[in-house]
Structure 1
């Protein structure tokens, strides 16, 4: 039997999470391969230790973590700052395995069960990893709570009480028919029955989003479904599989299996299928589908076209959105933010600058309250979190340039008013050598130039008018940038040709090793409201957005000659921010 090594890795917020490593017993593969395992809720990585021996994969290293609040990892039992925090922990763990154990991302197989499988599905959707394949066993997309209105009730109680914990109703005998597994579950001191409402509700929200938008997941995926599962519902699992975007996918329903699929008495049937699927994924690698024409075909193209189409006159939906627009028009007479949106466009640099400042303003108490609710919309909260992530990756890129003893010449090709970048740079101990801000709007250039003066950065910064989609204009920048920023621009334009031209122009101007910070919008919960009720800066047109999956956005960046290094995304999965490096 393999012997596990006990190790730790540091998360982004400095928490040391525990994991186990079972080295390969035969060094038969070059480059090395590994299986990375993620346990179900209430459990820990040690509960998957049997798989390192029971799976006939001696040439693979095996890894299994203890998630925050589980097993030997720190934190309140069953808790995490948020579901998105745990998803980011997955990304950090994968990066740690690559850096510390020398195993490339494309040589990794990810095997996950129950809550762990939802974490991995969300990670695959939000971060677009390039792992070899996923194996998801009984993903807990919808837990059977058995209490009517349990989910809205928990939301209401959380709003009143704050975070609290509920205990699992599941007895070990409902998880598996294997008597040894039942006994070990009962005797295991590291099993914890509580789960925080923060994590439980976050699990539900992430599952809803990922099941509905599984077309964005391109990784080869095997789904194992327990046929007699008493813990989670099957319908969302089947819908996830139907929506899954991977060109190589398979689903197996295992008759009579309880929820602990990989710990069932007759699990050998499932394990042999895992071995076969993994071997096939390595022996016949699946061609990565090109998403460079996703603006012309596919799910998000159809979605955007549907949103742009007028509704039948006087239909219930048409009447609803007409009433919504009328309500917003009324609100614009009281709320400064809503008025600014109608005056300049809800996607304009002026609106974004107002959202960044986040200071409700309006006529009297009612106007201020309307403005406060407007600024608290989930999309605007995501925008403000995007600003923080852009600032974080800007500082990271600047630090890398300093370490390489290279000058810091920054260009932002569509800066709006430039507030987010100027405020981020003000916090640095050493200012950049130069800052060039560009924008197509004369109003943004004027107000951004005033902001440069206000921040006392006129010695190193200037603001000029420029077209972010003009390849030749970008390629011939007077000062070749070592750090380029594109924030909140590409999300507003459906055409991949425009985006490709813009990225190519930057790549033409930048030397090898220079950095690019870019944003994306893989998902948004208010797309129809935005399209039916808000107007764009483009002469009052409807603001119809076409989402780009993270995989699509990354492919566009890679096609231009950049290599993605790291990524951030908000807790709702709306806006991503990535850092890439120019490679020739």
Structure 2
């Protein structure tokens, strides 16, 4: 019934990754199931599910993760865990384009590490997915040596990346003796894993379990009851925090870790089959997130952080002391002085972060600057800048390949350093670049940068309100490559974003591209709210984190369709591209 082919596709960094396809050319509706293997294994170890699931109306696709099976890369390694998640994003895009199967008609089945990759992808990229089935997700691996993770972390800082061998024997994975034997004989199985992959997996899993409330896909979790490899508790926590009402959690008593390769796997497979069939029995429904600023988890969290703590409480004293220390440190540290004077979210602060140099004269100030610049949030900001540069170059070239002159617009450029750096890297300069900002200080600093770089013939900086719909709509010339970076994350109100996005749509040519950023998670949200001031007259910097699904919904409502996305390895800042419909 199925025609099996083995193929390759080009991922985000040009790597050619291997996958298998099982296609039923007689199926009336194009719909598909993607299979993601566990760590150390490959797509061939999932191939038995194609027939065992008994879902003849679906095409099946199975990917060899990089560093596994027939995909390239050192065995058990990858540039980062987030690179593997982005591989899945590009794999789905490949399936959509080559086989004309929309994401709304795709279900994903992931096992162990593959399940964590799938869950992270759904959280970070917010695909319009029909169903997600996770078998024994490796949210927390059982490391039987005390303090093993902290030790590996410390050792990796000294030695760099290195490999450790898996302690897991085949008989600990499944009661199916034939499958266990085939595991031991399989030449494509790599039993080593790199430390950066192991630590990246752990960090991503911890983040996704903590923030599972921002996963808006029908999800089924199958937990093996006698699993020697991964812990049960994080799987339960993940399930409890899932937002979608269509969710299931099943404990398969006596099952070892290879849930979908167990001796009695028909019990697990029957549950997956039923779940997928029921999810496809009704039309795809997008999550209702356009009013998430007024009701829901992110609204409640921002409200909590905006509320003053009880006077003289331990927490109140702690945060007052923290703020006092920052104020004191600003006497010596240029980083803290800029933050205290202009706001830690100001264009001046971001320009300092982009320069990424200790600029204090005092030795103590230099030490503070160094620690400040290496905070995880500022690291993510600099990666965000790199992603903007990459995507701007990619879509500028796409426009030029279509014989269009590139007209760039940035509606809240700050000092403009990041956008001018991006323009400088373009092989063919744009015909125009209009930079705008609300602040006279930022406009003056931006004009100076334009002059210093000799870009006066191309670039122009002007005062402007990024939330004024009519003002944006009147911009000339109409842009075909617009950027809004680091702005929407600072404002909780979705009505303001709607005005801005509608104005941007009117300021752009048909078929133009919008590059927009998001902040979907932050490990220091309370510290920022309680200790740091914003650019708005010294008010507290309280962030309402928007899920990627919410941000994409707002962009879509304004008349755009998302076509691309990047995210830093910390899982904080996203950079997305949408096309004007």
Normalised TM-score (structure 1): 0.97
1:570 counterpart (555, 568, 575): 568
After alignment, is 402-411 or 374-383 more displaced?
A: 402-411
Alpha-carbon shift at residue 404 of structure 1 (Å): 2.2
- For the 8 Å contact 1:118–1:207, the answer to whether it is kept is yes
Structure 1 equivalent of residue 191 of structure 2: 193
User: How far 1:313 moved relative to its partner?
Assistant: 2.4
Displacement of 1:366 after TM fit?
2.2
1:218·1:247 contact (CA, 8 Å) conserved in 2?
no
Deviates more, 1:505-514 or 1:573-582: 505-514
CA distance in 1, matches of 2:341, 2:2: 67
530-539 vs 267-276, which deviates more?
Answer: 267-276
Q: How does 1:538-577 map to 2 (within 5 A)?
A: 538-577=536-575
**Contact 1:335/1:370 (<8 A) preserved:** yes
Three-state SS of the structure 2 residue aligned to 1:17 is: strand
CA displacement, residues 562-583 of structure 1 (integer Å, 9 cap, x when unaligned): 0111001100111000111111
Superposition map of 1:152-551 within 5 A: 152-551=150-549
Where do 5+ consecutive residues of structure 1 fail to align? Answer: none
Q: In the alignment, which residue of structure 2 is the partner of 1:9?
A: 9
- C-alpha distance in structure 2 between counterparts of 1:460 and 1:204, whole Å: 46
Number of the residue aligned with 2:26: 27
Distance in 2 (alpha carbons) for counterparts of 1:191 and 1:319: 55
**1:100-122 per-position Cα deviation (integer Å, ceiling 9, x unaligned):** 23322222111100010001100
Which secondary structure state, in structure 1, belongs to the residue aligned with residue 514 of structure 2? strand
Cα deviation digits, residues 445-466 of structure 1 (max 9, x gap): 1111111111111112211111
Secondary structure (helix, strand or coil) at the match of 1:512 reads strand
Q: Which residue number corresponds to residue 100 of structure 2?
A: 102
CA contact (8 A) 1:2 1:53 kept: no
C-alpha displacement at 1:394, in angstroms? 1.2
Shift of 1:326: 2.0
SS in 2 for 1:29: coil
Q: Supply the distance in 2 between the matched residues of 1:149 and 1:446 (Cα, whole angstroms).
A: 52
- Give deviations 1:514-535, integer Å, cap 9, x for gaps: 1111000001111111111111
Aligned to 1:61: 59
Range 303-312 or range 8-17, more displaced: 8-17
Give the equivalent residue in structure 2 for 1:129. 127
Could you give the per-residue CA deviations for residues 160-198 of structure 1, whole angstroms, max 9, x where no partner exists? Answer: 221111111111111111111111111111122111111
Larger mean CA deviation between 327-336 and 116-125 belongs to 327-336
Q: Alpha-carbon deviations, 1:464-501, whole Å to 9, x = none?
A: 11111111111111322222110000000000000011
Q: Is the 8 A contact 1:248 1:286 kept in 2?
A: no
Q: Unmatched 5+ residue regions in structure 2?
A: none
Contact persistence 2:135–2:222 (CA under 8 A): yes
Contact persistence 2:82–2:568 (CA under 8 A): yes
* Distance (Å, rounded) in 2 between the aligned partners of 1:165 and 1:115: 17
Distance in 2 between residues matched to 1:461 and 1:231, nearest whole Å: 57
Deviations 1:533-552 (CA, angstroms, capped at 9, x unpaired): 11101011110000000000
The 1-side partners of 2:179 and 2:415 are apart by 60
Q: Please give the per-residue CA displacement for 1:13-54, whole angstroms capped at 9, x wherever unaligned.
A: 222221111222x62232x11111110111111111110111
Note if contact 2:104-2:284 (Cα within 8 Å) is conserved in structure 1.
no
| 1:412–1:437 Cα contact (<8 Å) kept | yes
Corresponding position of 2:143:
145
Bigger Cα displacement from structure 2, 406-415 vs 416-425: 406-415
Matched, 1:51 2:45: no
State how far apart, in whole Å, the 2-side matches of 1:361 and 1:314 are: 37
The alpha-carbon deviation at position 289 of structure 1 amounts to: 2.1
Match of 1:79?
77
TM-fit CA distance, 1:2: 4.7
Task: Find the aligned partners of 2:407 and 2:194 in 1 and give their Cα distance.
Answer: 46
Measured after TM superposition, the shift of residue 3 of structure 1 is 5.7
C-alpha deviation, 1:333, in angstroms = 1.1
CA distance in 1, matches of 2:151, 2:310: 36
Change (3 A) 1:12 1:289: closer
Q: Provide the secondary structure at the position in 2 that maps to 1:485.
A: strand
Could you tell me how far apart the structure 2 residues matched to 1:477 and 1:159 are?
A: 50
Greater CA deviation, 443-452 or 156-165?
Answer: 156-165
- Aligned-residue Cα RMSD (Å) equals 1.3
TM-fit CA distance, 1:330: 2.0
Contact 2:562 2:579 in 1 (8 A): yes
2 CA distance for matches of 1:428 and 1:69?
Answer: 32
Deviation at 1:80, TM superposition (A): 1.0
| CA distance in structure 1 between the aligned counterparts of 2:261 and 2:505, rounded to whole angstroms | 50
Q: CA deviation at 1:287?
A: 2.2
Whether the aligned pair in 1 keeps the contact of 2:476 and 2:507 (CA below 8 Å) is no
The Cα shift of 1:231 comes to 1.2
Q: Which SS does the other structure have where 1:511 is aligned?
A: strand
Structure 1 CA distance, aligned partners of 2:287 and 2:80?
32
CA distance in 1, matches of 2:408, 2:425: 15
CA distance in 2, matches of 1:57, 1:350: 57
Q: After alignment, is 317-326 or 453-462 more displaced?
A: 317-326
Q: Is the 8 A contact 1:220 1:286 kept in 2?
A: no
Which region of structure 1 is more displaced relative to structure 2, 130-139 or 545-554?
A: 130-139
Between 1:427-436 and 1:480-489, the stretch displaced more is 427-436
Superposed displacement of residue 508, structure 1: 2.1
What CA deviation, in whole Å up to 9, does each residue of 1:209-260 have, x standing for no partner?
A: 0001011111111111112212111111011011112232111211211111
